[in-house]
Amino acid sequence: MISIEVLTGVLLACILAAFALGAPVGLALGGIAMAVGYATWGEGLFNVIPTTLEDTHFSFILLAIPLYIYMGQLLTRSGIGDAMFNASQMIIGRVRGSLAISVIFVCSMIGAMVGIIGAGIMTSGSIALRPMLERGYNKRLALGVIMAGGGLGILIPPSIPMIMFASATQNSVGRMFIAALVPAAIIIVLLVAYVVISCKLDHNKAPLDKVPDVAPTTKEKWFTARDGLLSLILIFVVLGSIIMGIATPTESGAIGVVGAILLAMFFKRLKPRMVKNAGMQAALLVSVAMWIIFGASVFSNFHLLMGVQNMVASFTQDLGLSPIMVIIMFQLIMLLLGFIIDEFIIVLMCAPIFTPIAVSLGYDPIWFGILMILNILIAVQTPPYGFALFYLKGIAPPGISMLDIYKSVAPFVLIKLSVLAICMMFPELVLWLPNKVMG
Residues 6+ apart with CB under 8 A from 134: none
Q: How confident is the model at residue 363 (pLDDT cuts 50, 70, 90)?
A: very high
Per-residue confidence (pLDDT) for residue 27, from 0 to 100: 78
User: How many other C-beta atoms can be found within 10 angstroms of the C-beta atom of residue 379?
Assistant: 25
- What angle, 0 to 180 degrees and rounded to 10, lies between the N-to-C axes of helices 402-425 and 139-151? 40
Identify whether the C-beta of residue 343 lies closer than 8 Å to the C-beta of residue 116.
Answer: yes
Q: Would residue 80 count as lying in a domain?
A: yes
| pLDDT of 115 | 64
- Per-chain mean pLDDT for the chain: 79
Regarding whether 380 and 251 lie in a shared domain, the answer is yes
Is the pLDDT reported for residue 139 higher than 80? yes
- Is the pLDDT score of 432 beyond 90? yes
Q: Which of 90-94, 246-250, 254-258 has the lowest mean pLDDT?
A: 90-94
Same domain (yes/no): 11, 63: no
Distance from C-alpha of 262 to C-alpha of 268, rounded to nearest angstrom: 10
**If 0-12 CB within 10 Å is exposed, 13-18 middle and 19+ buried, where does residue 50 land?**
exposed
Identify which has the larger pLDDT, 326 or 250: 326
DSSP secondary structure letters along 37-56: HHHHHGGGGGGHHHHHHHHH
The helix (run of H) or strand (run of E) holding residue 151 is helix 139-151
Q: Is 284 contained in some domain?
A: no
282 is a domain residue: no
Cα 34 to Cα 32: distance, rounded to the nearest angstrom: 5
Rounded Cα gap, residues 103 and 116, in angstroms: 17
Report if residue 246 sits inside a domain.
Answer: yes
Q: Is residue 21 part of a domain?
A: yes
3-state secondary structure of 386: coil
Amino acid 212: pLDDT? 53
Same domain for 130 and 259, yes or no, is yes
DSSP states of 246-311: SS-HHHHHHHHHHHHHHHHHHTT---HHHHHHHHHHHHHHHHHHHHHHHHHHHHHHHHHHTTHHHH
Q: Are residues 366 and 296 in the same domain?
A: no
**Burial class, 245, CB count within 10 angstroms (exposed 0-12 / middle 13-18 / buried 19+):** exposed
- CA gap 351, 358 in Å, rounded: 10
CA distance 46 to 30: 11
pLDDT tier, 60 (very low <50, low <70, confident <90, very high otherwise): low
Total number of domains constituting the chain: 2
User: Sorting pLDDT into bands at 50, 70 and 90, what band is 113?
Assistant: low
Q: How far apart are CA 344 and CA 325, in angstroms?
A: 25
Q: Does the pLDDT of residue 309 top 60, yes or no?
A: yes
Residues 224, 331, single domain; the answer is: yes
> Do 187 and 301 belong to one domain?
no
Would you say residue 248 lies in a domain? Answer: yes
Considering only 205-219, 290-304, 358-372, which range has the smallest mean pLDDT?
A: 205-219
> Does the pLDDT of residue 416 top 90, yes or no?
yes
DSSP state of 203: G
The pLDDT assigned to 370 comes to 95
- The type of residue at 277 is N
Whether 281 is in a domain gets the answer: no
At 5-54, the pLDDT tens digits run 787 788 878 877 876 777 776 777 788 888 888 887 777 777 777 777 77
245: which DSSP letter?
T
Specify which of 14-23, 232-241, 281-290, 419-428 reaches the highest per-range mean pLDDT: 419-428
Phi, psi (deg, nearest 5) at residue 397: -60, 160
Q: What is the pLDDT of residue 119?
A: 62
Of 439, 438, 427, 386, nearest to 182 by C-alpha is 427
How do residues 218-251 score in pLDDT, each as one tens digit?
A: 777 787 777 777 777 877 787 778 767 788 777 8
End-to-end CA gap in the chain: 47
Mention every residue, 6+ apart, whose C-beta is less than 8 A from residue 146. 103, 107, 121, 124, 125, 128, 129, 392
Is 216 domain-assigned? Answer: yes
Model pLDDT, residue 297: 73
Taking the C-alpha atoms of residue 335 and residue 342, their distance in angstroms, rounded to an integer, is 11
DSSP-based helix, strand, coil % in the chain, nearest 5: 80, 0, 20
Rounded to whole angstroms, the Cα distance separating 241 from 245 reads 6
Q: Is pLDDT above 90 for 183?
A: yes
What is the tens place of the pLDDT at every residue in 61-87? Answer: 667 778 877 877 787 777 776 677 777
Across the range 172-180, mean pLDDT stands at: 89
- What span, in angstroms and rounded, lies between the C-alpha atoms of 404 and 138? 11
Residue at which a domain ends, from 305, 330, 359: 305
Among 88-92, 162-166, 383-387, whose mean pLDDT is lowest? 383-387
Residue 3's SS3 state is coil
Task: Check: CB of residue 194 under 8 Å from CB of residue 415.
Answer: yes
Count of C-beta atoms within a 10 Å radius of residue 417: 16
Q: What is the pTM of this model?
A: 0.73
Based on the domain organization, do 192 and 332 belong to the same domain?
yes
| Same structural domain, 128 and 54 | no
The yes-or-no verdict on residue 268 having pLDDT over 60 is yes
Domain that holds residue 355: 59-270+307-438
Asked if 325 and 418 sit in the same domain, the reply is yes
User: Who has greater pLDDT, 36 or 296?
Assistant: 36
Same-domain status, 185 and 52 = no
- Of 411, 367, 414, nearest to 100 (Cα)? 411
Give the per-residue pLDDT at 341: 67
Residues 6+ apart with CB under 8 A from 44: none
Residue 359 scores a pLDDT above 60: yes
Quick one: 3 and 119 in the same domain?
no
Average pLDDT for residues 145-153, to the nearest whole number? 82
Q: Are residues 153 and 30 in the same domain?
A: no
Predicted confidence band of residue 168 (pLDDT cuts 50, 70, 90): confident
pLDDT at residue 120 in the model: 64
Backbone angles phi, psi at 80, to 5 degrees: -65, -45
